[in-house]
Structure 1
Amino acid sequence: MSSDRVFSEELIDKLTCTLELNLGGMIRNLPLPQTSPIHRHATNSSLGRIDTLPPELLLFILNLLDFQSLSRLSRASFRAKAIVEALPAYQELLEHAPDVLVALGRTRILRYHSAALLRQTLRTNRCESCFDFGAFLFLPTCERVCFQCLHENHALRVTTLNLAKKCFHLTNSHLKKIPVLHSIPGTYSVMFHVSRRKVYRLVSVKQVKQLAIEVHGSAENVARLLPPTPPQGMSRRDFWIFKWFHMAPLDPPACDLSRKPGRSNLVEDDFGGMASIRMPSLSGTSADRGRICKGCHLIDRLHSQGSLPTAVLENLVPQGIGPSRPLLALMNRLYSREGFLEHIKTCYGVDRLLAGWGK
């Protein structure tokens, strides 16, 4: 295998792809914000009464604000503009993830997440579901996620207000306690292709289930809301949607779900990709958007051709699990730079590519 090889940056670039091959179905291609060119400093400009606060306390307070509030504050005076633009959270998000801010604004989620939380998420790289590299931001909860967990983990799905109310016996008043995302019309795909031409009001299944437990008193009380069979007037599809939403895990599975046994009666995600966007991970001043292994794509191709060695397949796919889901997950997995350097030490597809290139 490749464990003893030294990989140059040029070779690493050749073995990876930073563009999503099958991952283009998230929020994307948003026009980026334009920053104000005004830099004049007025001697009498101030923040009013909060100017009397110690700098440390002022910084703490500003970091608790969301970017919508910070934007409004920056228009109050020249001094306010200078202070907001000097915030590390403001600088880092605007430099490395401006499209994330646009997406949060377009979906009306921006006001729910503080500048400090967004910066903290920007500076992490772990998927909140499986703990591997998470290259995407799930907008309602401001959590990092990976592509496979967006597909496999029902807690990371979004649904309409009406379906959420019926599924968990909630009211409009209850749902005011959690973020409501206004979708951006377009074409999306997280395994399933969906095209939506109108704006939907959507809520996170995870947050709805947490809210239901709060409203109804316990997880056991919420579980009793689901009938054992479809009631009169409910389609079987809606019944299974309700069932999977009730089974959505509130705690992280902390594993690769593609390596677990497949589940029957799964329902296509009607809004897959509409609440997530690619987000780089920032370490120091270096941003890592993740990279896909071309060797894993070769493995999937060899398997489809029937030419993948049995020993390799048995090493990649757990016993008793069909190969399609684990291999597809490998093909779609994004690695951090450090994660990829570990991965290529044992990737059969990388060895085949290097052999073919004579390296």
Structure 2
Amino acid sequence: MDPVTSLGRLELPLELLDIIVSQYCDIQTLVTSFSLVNRRARVIVSSSFIYQRLRRHAKRALVAMLRTKVGSFYTLADVYSVLCGDPYCTRCGDFGPLLWLPECSRCCMSCLREAPDLMPISRHAATKALGIPKSALACLPTVFTVPGGYGMGEKTFTVRRQYLSFRLAVEIAGGETQCMARVSASPQRQAAYDAFMCTQTKLEENARYMVATPLPYFDKRSGKADRGIRCRGCRKVLLEKLKAVTSCEQQRNIRRHSTVYVASDFIHHIQRDCPEGKRIWERHLKLSKRSTESVLQRQ
């Protein structure tokens, strides 16, 4: 057998190879190992229907998974099901334009910043504060952070850290009750746990931004990817009332400004919830109509 054009004992029917590539082989192994075996392996991977869809519509997510090494915990089918599945945040129901890497699930920006279920914890803190053995953490998806600027202030981080889902860590520790009993039984663990929770009270906890990446919604029926629309009306309200409202109102306005909508939901939003957005939209339609009429008159 030609070592360049053959997979040897893995030379199976294309249908079976496609199933193996998309559903049973993790992304990290597939892209960084198997596809480099020879030309035949590379063709098998690149010709996978799901891989082609992800390369075209979710390339940033694939790259993020490979760079953070969390791709070793997920298959192409796992990511594809999120890309084409429910487009809404699994926590609040708003459109979720982000992929939360520790659990391969959709989320919105507001929940990424605030939701307790989307709290990451470092492997070091999970061991020191929760008392979970490293061997037990090995089965949880782990994100190796990429150096760069994160958060609203673009704070720069140069050291790579390992983060996983706090919720899954507690779950693997036997649940909240058992986990907290283990924490309170040791003064050292309690101190480490308190220190960890203290960092999570900050709204702009940068670790949250390190474990998420943009992911559009792909509509199979239309064949189009939707990355969402931000409301310019909500942005205008936020900027105009930045100092003239209470902190609660300001947080509410920030959340509205952070919300991203699919096209159908955006129309509903400006018609029902955002008078300023509706005014901007109507002004845009009038200008478009005038422009069209002007072109027709010149013709």
Q: How far does residue 51 in structure 1 lie from its aligned partner after superposition?
A: 2.8
Q: SS state of the match for residue 140, structure 2?
A: coil
Give the aligned partner of residue 21 of structure 2: 62
- The answer to whether the 8 A contact 2:147-2:157 is kept is yes
Q: How far does residue 188 in structure 1 lie from its aligned partner after superposition?
A: 0.4
Q: Which runs of 5+ in 1 are unaligned?
A: 1-41, 246-264, 309-316
Give the aligned partner of residue 342 of structure 1: 268
- The answer to whether the 8 A contact 2:117-2:166 is kept is yes
Q: For residues 195 and 77 of structure 1, what CA distance do their matches in structure 2 show?
A: 39
Give the aligned partner of residue 239 of structure 1: 194
Q: For residues 238 and 223 of structure 1, what CA distance do their matches in structure 2 show?
A: 10
Give the aligned partner of residue 197 of structure 1: 158
- The answer to whether the 8 A contact 2:97-2:215 is kept is yes
Q: For residues 14 and 81 of structure 2, what CA distance do their matches in structure 1 show?
A: 21
Q: For residues 139 and 228 of structure 2, what CA distance do their matches in structure 1 show?
A: 34
Q: SS state of the match for residue 273, structure 1?
A: helix
Give the aligned partner of residue 151 of structure 1: 113
Q: 2:294 aligned with 1:332, yes or no? A: no
Q: Which runs of 5+ in 2 are unaligned?
A: 287-299
- Quote the RMSD (CA, aligned, Å): 3.2
Q: How far does residue 136 in structure 1 lie from its aligned partner after superposition?
A: 0.7
Q: How far does residue 273 in structure 1 lie from its aligned partner after superposition?
A: 0.7
- Report 1:173-188 matches (<5 A): 173-188=135-150
- The answer to whether the 8 A contact 1:154-1:244 is kept is no
- The answer to whether the 8 A contact 1:126-1:133 is kept is yes
Q: Which has the higher helix share?
A: 2
- The answer to whether the 8 A contact 1:192-1:269 is kept is no
Q: How far does residue 358 in structure 1 lie from its aligned partner after superposition?
A: 8.7
- The answer to whether the 8 A contact 1:299-1:348 is kept is no
Q: SS state of the match for residue 144, structure 1?
A: strand
Size of the aligned set, in residue pairs, is 279
Q: How far does residue 330 in structure 1 lie from its aligned partner after superposition?
A: 0.3
Q: For residues 203 and 129 of structure 2, what CA distance do their matches in structure 1 show?
A: 15
Give the aligned partner of residue 84 of structure 1: 45
- The answer to whether the 8 A contact 2:129-2:193 is kept is no
Q: 2:75 aligned with 1:114, yes or no? A: yes
Equivalent in 198, 216, 223 of residue 280 of structure 1: 216
- The answer to whether the 8 A contact 1:192-1:272 is kept is no
Aligned-partner residue type, residue 292 of structure 1? R
Give the aligned partner of residue 10 of structure 2: 50
Q: For residues 126 and 355 of structure 1, what CA distance do their matches in structure 2 show?
A: 27
- Report 1:312-323 matches (<5 A): 322-323=248-249
Give the aligned partner of residue 206 of structure 1: 167
1:276–1:302 distance in 2 versus 1, CA, 3 Å: same
Q: How far does residue 340 in structure 1 lie from its aligned partner after superposition?
A: 0.9
Bigger shift: residues 293-302 or 67-76: 67-76
Q: 2:182 aligned with 1:225, yes or no? A: yes
Q: 2:233 aligned with 1:295, yes or no? A: yes
TM-score (norm 2): 0.80
Q: How far does residue 331 in structure 1 lie from its aligned partner after superposition?
A: 0.6
Aligned-partner residue type, residue 277 of structure 1? T
Q: How far does residue 175 in structure 1 lie from its aligned partner after superposition?
A: 1.6
- The answer to whether the 8 A contact 2:61-2:215 is kept is yes
- The answer to whether the 8 A contact 1:226-1:243 is kept is no
Percent same amino acid at aligned positions? 27
1:226–1:358 distance in 2 versus 1, CA, 3 Å: same
1:186–1:305 distance in 2 versus 1, CA, 3 Å: closer
Q: How far does residue 67 in structure 1 lie from its aligned partner after superposition?
A: 2.4
Give the aligned partner of residue 294 of structure 2: none
Q: For residues 110 and 233 of structure 1, what CA distance do their matches in structure 2 show?
A: 31
1:227–1:244 distance in 2 versus 1, CA, 3 Å: farther
- The answer to whether the 8 A contact 1:241-1:267 is kept is no
1:341–1:74 distance in 2 versus 1, CA, 3 Å: same
Greater relative contact order, per chain length (Cα 8 Å cut-off, separation 6+): 1
Q: For residues 301 and 267 of structure 1, what CA distance do their matches in structure 2 show?
A: 19
Q: What per-residue deviation string (whole Å, max 9, x for no partner) do you get for residues 254-276 of structure 1?
A: xxxxxxxxxxx657524131111
Q: SS state of the match for residue 230, structure 2?
A: strand
Aligned-partner residue type, residue 221 of structure 1? Q
Q: For residues 176 and 136 of structure 1, what CA distance do their matches in structure 2 show?
A: 25
